[in-house]
């Protein structure tokens, strides 16, 4: 059952319709969602210093850049649907690839889809408060919950974006270019307007930087968790490997160019945030970017920014659906997932079965309203497999030294090793500060093991 590397020109049932600009837009659009507009306040509370917040953004950007080198090499060498599912199967063995796909199909992508849809509705609720109207309340054990109008609307948003991806890959790519330009433009406007019209903050209510030690390292690791949520998405382009034109060249260029663009915009935006608001104001803000714009453009300017933030969330949701459906599709094609996920829509040549599966699970999560509590679980599970991907690259360099590699990771072996160590450190730190949610994430991954052996036994040839 282990996937075998085929010639890059082999026939695929998927449409190869994404060029360099569409691929770069997917990287940028998948990465820029809601994080850059919200998480700086969480980071400020974690470290207590503007300097350390900016340091966390820079360190996080360097870490994901080193990770991007890994994914660029693997994506160029293996332009296959499912991306990391194939990389891990080839580099570490089929069980590890399966567990990635299992985690992604049942946890990572549906939770991300539900969360982004809820974020979109939260921005809409800022403009139209009726969206937050409670429908009914209840109690489940010790857990009190309230269902608002935003939750069924979020489920409808998930289904609508899934339908767009169902209809066409090329249309999806064109839409993503447009949405990405809009969200990049939003950050550029914040930066330029903040520099030109914002009044520099003259009273810096920030605590002095503590001497560098274990406490500072722990605080930085904690601040990196929301930063990594904001940077998440640089790794998803490989899922579309069979649908990208000239993947050996375009995948590495799109990943690295997209991530460098995102990192630059993030750093500039945060410089403006701290230049405009006092540290205490920023640390207590629930809508950092909106409060910054309100300080020099008033409520109307903040409202326009909220519209742009909603578009940003919608664009990120679109990419999560676009890339995520290829993982269960690739697994089902290999016979290690539910058969319906391998269905291809005959007219549009999109993975219809996988899209319907992910859209249904995400819509259910959006209806429950519990997805926000899975945020830490999401990050914990994803970074486990970031570490495993770095190990797969290192192992493939040794076991398949003659493999055609159109792109080789810059700074090898130090860049993948640093990425690996950072992933391990972040995972351990997250386990320590949120042990229950992290344990739930690990449980979801482990539950997939018996399913793997059940499906593999069906593929094994009968004994002679």
Tens of pLDDT, residue by residue over 405-463, are 999 999 999 999 999 999 999 888 888 887 877 888 888 899 999 999 998 887 655 44
C-alpha to C-alpha distances, 117 to 23, 68, 311, nearest whole angstrom: 22, 26, 11
Please calculate the CA angle 42-46-50 and round it to the nearest 5 degrees. Answer: 85
Instruction: Tell me how far apart the alpha carbons of residues 129 and 159 are, in angstroms, rounded to a whole number.
Output: 23
Query: What does the pLDDT read at residue 430?
Result: 83
Q: Total structural domains in the chain?
A: 1
| DSSP secondary structure code for residue 106 in this structure | I
Instruction: Tell me how far apart the alpha carbons of residues 370 and 375 are, in angstroms, rounded to a whole number.
Output: 10
Please calculate the CA angle 438-443-447 and round it to the nearest 5 degrees. Answer: 155
Which structure tokens are listed for 152? 């069924």
Query: What does the pLDDT read at residue 356?
Result: 93
**Which single residue is written with the structure tokens 């590495």?**
252
Which structure tokens are listed for 247? 């993947």
Strand spans (E) along 129-173:
134-140, 143-148
Q: Is residue 4 part of a domain?
A: no
Q: Is residue 293 part of a domain?
A: yes
Query: What does the pLDDT read at residue 55?
Result: 93
Query: What does the pLDDT read at residue 96?
Result: 94
**Residue 283, C-beta contacts closer than 8 angstroms, at least 6 positions apart:** 41, 44, 45
For residue 413, whether the previous peptide bond is cis, meaning omega lies within 30 degrees of 0, is yes
Q: Is the distance from CB of 29 to CB of 316 less than 8 angstroms?
A: yes
Instruction: Tell me how far apart the alpha carbons of residues 30 and 86 are, in angstroms, rounded to a whole number.
Output: 21
**Residue 401, C-beta contacts closer than 8 angstroms, at least 6 positions apart:** none
Q: Is the distance from CB of 57 to CB of 227 less than 8 angstroms?
A: yes
- CA-wise closest residue to 247 among 90, 401, 405: 405
**Which single residue is written with the structure tokens 């998927």?**
14
Q: Is residue 130 part of a domain?
A: yes
- CA-wise closest residue to 314 among 202, 180, 196, 146: 180
Instruction: Tell me how far apart the alpha carbons of residues 315 and 319 are, in angstroms, rounded to a whole number.
Output: 7
The β-bridge partners of 381 are none
Q: Is residue 7 part of a domain?
A: no
Q: Which residues of the chain have pLDDT under 50?
A: 1-11, 203-207, 370-371, 462-464
Q: DSSP string covering 169-237, please? A: HHHHHHHHHHHHHHHHHHHHHHHHHHHHHPPPP-----PPPPPSSHHHHHHHHHHHHHHHHHHTTTT-G
Q: Is residue 279 part of a domain?
A: yes
Instruction: Tell me how far apart the alpha carbons of residues 460 and 452 are, in angstroms, rounded to a whole number.
Output: 12
Q: Is residue 15 part of a domain?
A: no
Q: Is residue 6 part of a domain?
A: no
Q: Is residue 109 part of a domain?
A: yes
Q: Could you tell me the residue range of the domain that residue 438 belongs to?
A: 22-458
In this prediction the pTM is: 0.81
**CATH number for the domain harbouring residue 448:** 1.20.1740.10
């Amino acid at each position: 059952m282990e996937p075998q590397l085929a010639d890059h020109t082999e026939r695929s049932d998927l449409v190869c319709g994404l060029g360099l600009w569409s691929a770069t837009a997917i990287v940028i659009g998948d990465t820029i969602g809601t994080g850059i507009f919200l998480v700086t306040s969480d980071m400020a509370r974690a470290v207590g210093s503007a300097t350390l917040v900016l340091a966390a953004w820079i360190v996080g950007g360097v870490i994901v850049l080193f990770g991007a080198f890994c994914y660029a090499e693997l994506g160029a060498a293996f332009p296959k649907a499912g991306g990391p599912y194939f990389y891990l199967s080839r580099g570490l063995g089929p069980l590890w690839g399966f567990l990635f796909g299992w985690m992604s199909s049942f946890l990572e992508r549906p939770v991300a889809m539900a969360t982004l849809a809820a974020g979109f509705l939260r921005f809409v609720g800022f403009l139209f408060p009726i969206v937050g109207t409670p429908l009914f309340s209840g109690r489940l054990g010790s857990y009190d919950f309230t269902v608002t109008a935003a939750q069924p609307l979020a489920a409808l948003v998930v289904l609508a974006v899934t339908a767009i991806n169902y209809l066409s890959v090329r249309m999806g790519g064109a839409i993503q270019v447009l949405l990405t330009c809009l969200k990049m433009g939003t950050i550029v406007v914040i930066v330029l307007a903040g520099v030109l019209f914002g009044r520099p903050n003259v009273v810096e209510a920030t605590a002095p930087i503590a001497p560098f030690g274990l406490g500072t390292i722990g605080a930085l690791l904690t601040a990196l968790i929301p930063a990594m949520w904001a940077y998440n998405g640089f790794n998803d382009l490989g899922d579309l490997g069979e649908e990208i034109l000239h993947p050996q060249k375009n995948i590495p260029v799109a990943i690295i160019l997209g991530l460098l663009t995102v990192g630059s915009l993030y750093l500039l935006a945060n410089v403006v945030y701290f230049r405009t608001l006092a540290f205490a104001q920023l640390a207590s803000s629930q809508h950092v970017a909106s409060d910054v714009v309100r300080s020099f453009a008033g409520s109307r300017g903040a409202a326009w920014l909220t519209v742009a933030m909603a578009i940003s969330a919608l664009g990120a949701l679109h990419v999560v659906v676009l890339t995520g459906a290829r993982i269960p599709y690739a697994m089902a094609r290999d016979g290690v997932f539910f058969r319906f996920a391998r269905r291809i829509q005959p007219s549009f040549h999109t993975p219809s079965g996988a899209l319907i599966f992910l859209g249904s699970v995400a819509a259910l999560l959006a209806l429950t309203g519990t997805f926000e509590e899975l945020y830490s679980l999401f990050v914990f599970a994803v970074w486990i497999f970031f570490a495993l991907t770095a190990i797969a690259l290192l192992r493939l360099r040794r076991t398949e030294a003659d493999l055609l590699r159109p792109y080789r990771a810059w700074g090898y072996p130090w860049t993948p090793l640093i990425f690996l160590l950072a992933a391990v450190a972040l995972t351990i730190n997250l386990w320590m500060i949120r042990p229950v949610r992290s344990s739930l994430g690990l449980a979801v991954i482990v539950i997939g093991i018996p399913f793997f052996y059940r499906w593999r036994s069906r593929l094994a040839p009968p004994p002679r």
